[in-house]
Structure 1
Amino acid sequence: MTKNWLELFPDNIKRLLLNLPMGVLENLEEIRIRESRPLEINTGGKFYFISYSGEMILAPEEAYKPSREDGHRLLDLISNHSLYTMEEELRKGFITIPGGHRIGLTGRTVLSAGRVEHIRDISGFNVRIAKEIKGVADEILPYLLDIKKKRVFHTLIMSPPQHGKTTLVRDLARQISSGTWGKSNINWPGMKVGIVDERSEIAGSQRGVPGFDVGPRTDVLDGCPKAEGMMMLLRSMSPDVLIVDEIGRPEDAEAVTEALHAGISVIATAHGSSVQDMRGRPGLAGLVDNRMFEMYAVLNRSGNERCLKLQDGEQRTLTTAGPRRLGGDVFA
């Protein structure tokens, strides 16, 4: 188990987390710390409060309630005692730390000209634990390959938050880059992969070096806005496949369209539960209506049970896997 994220927490909270059963600790997905309110965890899609003795309970009134000092100490630790250097992250409402772990923040917003300038009086934290699960793309990857043209289909992967999109595209990047093509007998060489990692979650880079295994022929543009980053990689790194997480704005759609017209395969993710959801989003409706994507993958989850549905560009269902229980929170 990677313990680097445990070092984020003040001693009081770290002690409680270390009291959890090892299986629970290794499969933690979220840790929610709200000042003067119950400490909460998400493991395997189930939510529990943590008691003063480190036990998992359902009664919020019996749970440990983090103090203001706990919150201030946590903020110091995640910002390395330099909160003023993280103004852009505070404007977006989250901080990504080495390892790709994202920490959502809530508190009082400060506005400038009607827009959020930053967050102050931070009192709420949602620590989302990033996981590297090699092989999670084994089943889906063969469906994403155009055998005749020896290329990767333009693919949009959809799911609600915390259902596994980022874990999946991380393994897709690794396999495509290294030339391991999931559960298929294909023997192609690895392709050049470019990742635009605006939130530093796919590659988990530290000082520009990926912390996760994203493959030997993968170039990562870390912390860069998606639309601008896609254009930068197209101009400078000549990728065969471009991977980008959580598209949604009109400028994202324009950059995806530009990449497709340049002959680059694009694998993107977006929040949603169906192709119809994408039609309801102004930034993405044009991509769907113009059939820019050749494959759609929809991930859904209930607890530890995952469903995966694949559709082609005409939205015809190719395969459905699930519901099934996948060990180790495969799509977490």
Structure 2
Amino acid sequence: MEQVLQILPSDISNCIKKYMDREQIDIQEIRLRVNQPIEINDGKHVFWLKNHFFSASDATLFLNKISEFSLYRLEEELRNGFITIAGGHRIGISGSVIVENSKVKAIHHVSSFNIRIAKPQFGMIQPYLSYILTDKIQNTLIIGPPQSGKTTLLRDLANYCATSTSTRSSYKTAIVDERSEICASINGVPQHLLGSRIDVLDRCPKAEGMMMFIRSMSPELIIVDEIGSQKDVEAIDEVIHAGVQLVCTVHGRSFAEISERPTIKNIIKNKIFQRFMVLSNQTTVGEVIEILDEEGQSLYRSRVMIK
């Protein structure tokens, strides 16, 4: 959080600090929109700092600070619509989009920012390891709506699998981090603490990245975030047939919901995954409400799910 406060305009930073101290909230997002009051939220509630508006000059100063006064240096990130800063915090941007050959070339006249505060959590996966790690890692698909903790859980599992202890060996773990969300790399260096046997392809398309790893890095486990395209499905099939284990995530609220999507339906039909973990964003981040096997039969249900 300190890295974020340091690059915000000083009056806004001081305003947020005072609010945090007074209200004792754990901020997940800070949203800044030109000519609008500042919005902050803790994942459950929205709070407005109505006495402080974000001005056009604030937006210019903030963008300059993020880019270290060189927008050209961040041209690729701006084209993707977000910037990752030290500490793994991610800043989404929106404004006037310039399109060339049907592709986004740049974003000019930035009018709003969404700062997502990175909070690596460790040990979240611990209660569910017996379902995922049996004689080997079970191919697992983590299902959840936005802000349910899919990526956080994925990162925690990667850390666990890539770290050996006195009682178990680690796995050669490969992460294809297409959107720099899992590792939050800066100049190729992950900002979040990761296990000792992890290799990362940062900002690499998932399908291409999975194939690159299989061809060159002999992984035992591949981890990717947010699958969905036909290319992803084809690459997943290649991974499985190469004898590599796989854990990934997908947007959704239930096993039944994702089962209706054309691309995911085929994955389920072919029993690519042996485990499906369903997350909720109703109470705590990373809360697993159900775990199912490859047949869609429930192996675990939380008390919330039972109710």
With normalisation by structure 1, the TM-score equals 0.85
Quick one: percent identity of the two aligned structures?
41
**Displacement after TM superposition at 1:34 (Å):** 0.6
CA distance in 1, matches of 2:22, 2:275: 36
Query: How many pairs are equivalent?
Result: 304
Runs of 4+ in 1 over 6 A off after TM superposition: 23-26
Segments of structure 2 that go 5 or more residues without pairing to the other structure are none
Q: Tell me whether 1:308 sits opposite 2:294 in the alignment.
A: no
Amino acid in the other structure paired with 1:289: K
Paired amino acid for 1:177: A
Look up the equivalent residue of 2:112 and give its one-letter code.
G
Match of 1:293 in 2: 273
In 1, Cα distance between the equivalents of 2:122 and 2:155? Answer: 9
CA–CA separation in structure 1 for the residues paired with 2:22 and 2:173: 34
Aligned residue in 1 for 2:229: 249
Q: Does 1:33 align with 2:21?
A: no
Q: Which residue of 2 aligns with 1:261?
A: 241
Give SS of 2:256's match.
Answer: helix
Q: Retained in 2: the 8 A contact 1:295–1:310?
A: yes
- Look up the match of 2:300: 319
Over 3 Å counting, the alpha-carbon distance change for 1:24 and 1:116 in structure 2 is farther
Query: Does the 8 A contact of 2:147 with 2:281 survive in 1?
Result: no
- Provide the residue aligned with 2:53 in structure 1: 65
Where 1:243 maps in the other structure, the secondary structure is strand
Output the amino acid matched with 2:6: E
Q: Which amino acid aligns with 2:205?
A: P
Partner of 2:198: 218
Q: Residue 8 in 1 paired to residue 38 in 2?
A: no
Shift of 1:116: 2.8
**What is the CA distance between 1:303 and its match in structure 2?**
4.5
What is the CA distance between 1:80 and its match in structure 2?
2.1
Report the counterpart of residue 48 of structure 1 in structure 2: 47
Match of 1:284 in 2: 264
Shift of 1:168: 0.5
**Counterparts in 2 of 1:24 and 1:79: CA distance versus 1, 3 Å:** farther
**Structure 2 length-normalised TM:** 0.91
CA distance in 2, matches of 1:24, 1:223: 37
RMSD: 2.2
* In 1, Cα distance between equivalents of 2:87 and 2:257: 31
Change in CA separation of 1:205 and 1:70 when aligned onto 2, cut-off 3 Å: same
Task: Name the residue aligned to 1:167.
Answer: 152
Alignment partner, residue 91 of structure 2: 103
Q: 1:46 to 1:217 in 2, by over 3 A?
A: same
1:231-250 equivalent positions in 2, closer than 5 A: 231-250=211-230
**Residues 232 and 307 of structure 1, relative CA distance in 2, 3 Å threshold:** closer
